[in-house]
Structure 1
């Protein structure tokens, strides 16, 4: 199945979300953590706008 622009964007957001989930606990600088959490919230807000019947594909870990 070929990814449409919206599914491609959703998959891109999910990849960024998983990356931030790994970065936030390992970051020591409080200013950097605040920025990462702000980015994380923005990604979650955008992901809430997607409604798909297809399953979410998680990146290989």
Structure 2
């Protein structure tokens, strides 16, 4: 009979679970930071567009 593989490289164990949880927590924090940056960038872009349109409308009215 062929050998039975009981452990593969990269498999998690209960001993490695706290490390995995820490990595997941770090990834979630990094994702939250990126989402906040993207939200701020979208808001700034929207404000810049609104300002540009307001100035165009003002110039067209004059």
TM-score by length of 1: 0.38
Larger Rg: 2
Higher relative contact order (CA 8 A, sep 6+): 1
